[in-house]
Structure 1
Amino acid sequence: MQIQLLIPGLLWPTATLLGPASGLALDGLAALLGRGRRQVHGFDPYDRQLARLFGLEAGTMPTALLRRLGEPCASPPAPGSHWLCADPVNLSFAREHLLLQTFPEGELDAAEAGELVAALNETFTDIGRFEVCTPTRWYLRLDKPARTTLYPLDDVVGRPVKHFLPEGEEARSWQRTMNEAQIVLHNHARSRAREEAGLRAVNSVWLWGAGDAGRTPAIRAALVQTDDPLCVGLARAAGVPAGAPDISTALRQDTLVVLDTLRKPAQQLDLDAWRRGLAALERDWFAPLAEAIRQGRMGSLRLLAPSDRGTLDLELRSADRWKFWRKPYAFEALLQSVAPAPMALPDAPPPPPDSDR
């Protein structure tokens, strides 16, 4: 029995005066790090690693369609339909640069999301229809495929938007659509009310996730556990059962577990939320997994943790429990051994889409 763990955001992305995990009791994680064979590979984004686990290429898979398939909405997307993610974002100026930020769960409510999307649908009747699945995850069902290159939202968060505008055959048309959406949302009464209340306005949407639905996802695991709708959609498309993360169920069969509770806190540099999430992972996953390995109740574990600093790759087998000379390795020591991601200059262009982003 094998468990694969994918945990984006586990490696805190920046250097801090005090260690980001200092003071946390992470004995289970330290035991796993010490007993296993660990490496830190180069930068390899979460979406690319997730796609690879299902036998797909991140640059071509229909991310929006698959994420929509994994949503708890009333009806699944129709076969052959075309979708974009149209996630609500806030654009703000930092010096002369227009930067993009997302909204944490709970910062928007369903009522305001519904009103904002209704305004978009009144304006964009000629391209398709917007819909809300959750207050922070919106979609655009298209009347026809989008023939353009659109950058994933994770690539753009906290960076100058000008480097990530649509490219390709229909680039100008989609740039114009995004600009018009900014005007609609900026002028909406809900956005003005948020600003008057000292809250960040929903003043744009980020369109992304187009792709080719030609290849069917496939995975060897018997079960997928995740709360990430993209991963749920991949599992459903592959015909594999998907459920919420649960350690006792995962220990019964070969399971892929995607735990993405640290991803947004790491992106948004919300250290308090990241530390709370890390403590919860220690309690619910790392400590029980370390005990399962110690008792010989698990054949093997592979943990992948992609981040801007690189990807932690940890492998641990049941036989490693007998290697008493391998001592626990503190997570704080691991963070100190991995160089922080280099600070990108605001005017530095992003790497081309087909390079290692």
Structure 2
Amino acid sequence: MIKKLFLNLTIVVPGLAEILPEIISTDNTQFPFLKKLIKKAIQKQVNIYSYEALLLNLFGFSQSESRDVPIATIMYPWDKGKPQPQSSWIIRADPVHLRPDRDELVLFGSHQLALNQTEAQELANHIIPLFTEYGWNLEVLIPDRWYLILPQLSQVNFTSLSEVEGKYISAALPTGVEKSRWCTLLNEIQMTLYNCPTNKKREEEGKLSVNSLWFWGAEKSPAVLAPSSWDTITTGKEPFAQALTSYSNIPYQILAEQDIGDRWIEQLDIPGNHLLILDQLLLIKDQPSELYQALLHLEEHWFSVLYKLLQKRPFTQLNLYPLGSYYYSTNWSQTWYFWRSFKKYRTLL
């Protein structure tokens, strides 16, 4: 039995925004409760497009006008298990695949590469000399999360990897006073990786080669604008949310495999504001068949449960962030707005 504790629940479902228009604009009958959560909600503009930037915002951190996010300073201690070196500047230098498309290059990230640690270190060993001549250190802490440690800041601006995945890179290349240096370095990295034996082997196995790195995550440590308003935080498997809570010294729990909507909600024994991150779609966003099955799972075990509970008033407010231009806010009374339609949402997602 769910207690009426006046719960405010915020749900982040990264990866949902990309498939939401198709679900709403078709006669698909397999997602009735997701449709209702959108249909009955008040649609509010958010103007935050990357997963990392959204979480930083929800955690109360300041946001710069840069297209980058301070992921390196947050993730490095998490991946390394100890603080970053003092008097150093750390950026991410993640392995990627660039594919020609007409006169442009499209970027494919770690989800498509599926590197193991041995491959990652072999690839890194081929390009480490390009960094050591500058006195820089490249560390492969996780197969798809590499870090470049520099003694001082560089006058350059980068673009978040999540903003450029699956897109042309020309508008996202380094900018700033020292952009030429970094673009030249990227070209040298690409030429060095071209003949790497590890890449040859991957191509023979039908895998994408790692033919470049993507520099990003170089923003300074973010400032906290306000204390955390979350009474509980539950994350999925995606590591950034876990690293951010650790960086913020906020207690959190990881959603267990067996935890589904009603079981998880039964554990909420305090009123207040609760943040839930359902990252299943983000982790398989490049696998269409699995993506659809994961969405069906969310519909059956989360969206249906949450909508029915919203009608019974355990929640005073439910906010759904699909990671797009808008988020959707619903309260008890709105679930009974039978006259609401999808018409106004079809062009705004």
TM-score calculated relative to the size of structure 2: 0.79
Cα distance in 2 between the residues matched to 1:296 and 1:262:
28
Q: Which amino acid aligns with 1:242?
A: Y
In structure 2, the residue matched to 1:350 is: none
In structure 2, the residue matched to 1:98 is: 105
Matched, 1:152 2:160: yes
2:9 to 3, 23, 27: 3
Cα distance in 2 between the residues matched to 1:68 and 1:24:
44
When residues 69 and 229 of structure 1 are mapped into structure 2, their CA distance, relative to the original with a 3 A threshold, is farther
1:58, distance to aligned residue in structure 2 (A): 4.7
The answer to whether the 8 A contact 1:28-1:282 is kept is yes
1:151, distance to aligned residue in structure 2 (A): 0.9
Q: How does 1:290-329 map onto structure 2 within 5 Å?
A: 290-307=307-324, 310-311=325-326, 313-317=327-331, 319-320=332-333, 324-326=336-338
TM-score calculated relative to the size of structure 1: 0.78
In structure 2, the residue matched to 1:108 is: 115
Number of positions where the alignment pairs a residue of Structure 1 with one of Structure 2 = 327
Cα distance in 1 between the residues matched to 2:86 and 2:319:
34
Cα distance in 2 between the residues matched to 1:15 and 1:324:
23
1:216, distance to aligned residue in structure 2 (A): 3.4
2:204 to 196, 210, 214: 196
Per the alignment, in what secondary structure is the counterpart of residue 110 of structure 2?
Answer: coil
1:223, distance to aligned residue in structure 2 (A): 2.8
Deviations 1:111-157 (A, max 9, x none): 21122123333442234322234322222222222321001112222
Q: How does 1:329-340 map onto structure 2 within 5 Å?
A: 337-338=346-347
Per the alignment, in what secondary structure is the counterpart of residue 338 of structure 1?
Answer: coil
2:49 to 12, 33, 45: 45
When residues 298 and 19 of structure 1 are mapped into structure 2, their CA distance, relative to the original with a 3 A threshold, is closer
The answer to whether the 8 A contact 1:251-1:298 is kept is no
Per the alignment, in what secondary structure is the counterpart of residue 166 of structure 2?
Answer: coil
Cα distance in 1 between the residues matched to 2:193 and 2:27:
41
1:28 to 29, 33, 58: 33
2:249 to 239, 245, 250: 239
Cα distance in 2 between the residues matched to 1:178 and 1:14:
36
Cα distance in 2 between the residues matched to 1:139 and 1:277:
31
Q: Percent identity, aligned pairs only?
A: 24
Q: How does 1:43-192 map onto structure 2 within 5 Å?
A: 43-46=47-50, 47-53=52-58, 54-59=60-65, 62-71=70-79, 73-78=80-85, 81-104=88-111, 107-125=114-132, 126-192=134-200
Deviation larger for 138-147 or 42-51? 42-51
1:211, distance to aligned residue in structure 2 (A): 1.1
Cα distance in 2 between the residues matched to 1:195 and 1:76:
37
Cα distance in 1 between the residues matched to 2:97 and 2:171:
16
Unaligned stretches of 5+ residues in structure 1: 341-357
Q: Which amino acid aligns with 2:111?
A: P
Cα distance in 2 between the residues matched to 1:280 and 1:108:
28
Unaligned stretches of 5+ residues in structure 2: 1-6
1:303, distance to aligned residue in structure 2 (A): 1.1
When residues 325 and 300 of structure 1 are mapped into structure 2, their CA distance, relative to the original with a 3 A threshold, is closer
Deviation larger for 246-255 or 137-146? 246-255
Deviation larger for 223-232 or 167-176? 223-232
When residues 163 and 328 of structure 1 are mapped into structure 2, their CA distance, relative to the original with a 3 A threshold, is closer
Cα distance in 2 between the residues matched to 1:284 and 1:142:
46
The answer to whether the 8 A contact 1:82-1:143 is kept is yes
Cα distance in 2 between the residues matched to 1:45 and 1:32:
21
The answer to whether the 8 A contact 2:233-2:253 is kept is yes
1:64, distance to aligned residue in structure 2 (A): 1.7
Cα distance in 1 between the residues matched to 2:138 and 2:340:
50
Cα distance in 2 between the residues matched to 1:316 and 1:70:
35
Cα distance in 1 between the residues matched to 2:135 and 2:228:
35
The answer to whether the 8 A contact 1:3-1:251 is kept is no
In structure 1, the residue matched to 2:277 is: 258
Higher helix share: 2
Superposed CA RMSD in Å reads 3.3
In structure 2, the residue matched to 1:347 is: none
Matched, 1:220 2:238: no
When residues 20 and 86 of structure 1 are mapped into structure 2, their CA distance, relative to the original with a 3 A threshold, is farther
The answer to whether the 8 A contact 1:146-1:210 is kept is no
